Amino acid sequence: MICLQVISNAGEARSQCMCALESARNGRFEEAESYFNESLERLQAAHHIHTGLITKEARGELQRIGLILVHSEDILMGAEITSALAREMVELYKR
């Protein structure tokens, strides 16, 4: 199911952000940046899939919107928030 791809990518993006925070907390800022780059790739993949779903829905091609789609959007939003906050926290660790 396509929604599970959104969940998987967004969940992995969130995990990568948490690894970036741990690296930064331990002074490994280059490693943190690497984790953020991986996270960004996963977020972009999730967004690409999500945009496809929205396009299908707008065209009337989705017969119904199920709980899994709503859940995938929730996971995606959580990953986006985690990413933004983690980046800010890394900047604080650098000080």
pLDDT confidence tier of residue 80, bands split at 50, 70 and 90: very high
pLDDT score of 65 = 75
Question: Does 47 qualify as catalytic in the annotation?
Answer: no
Q: Give residue-wise pLDDT tens across range 23-61.
A: 999 999 999 999 999 999 999 999 999 999 989 888 988
CA distances from 42 to 26, 49, 77, 89, 95 (A): 24, 11, 13, 20, 28
**CATH code: domain of residue 50:** 1.20.58.80
Q: Is the pLDDT of residue 64 over 80?
A: no
Report the predicted TM-score, pTM, of the whole model to 2 decimal places.
0.89
Residue tagged active-site, from 47, 48, 50, 71:
71
One-letter amino acid for residue 93 of the chain? Y
pLDDT score of 51 = 95
pLDDT score of 61 = 85
Range of the domain at 32: 2-94
Q: Count how many domains the chain has.
A: 1
pLDDT score of 71 = 94
74 is in an annotated binding site: yes
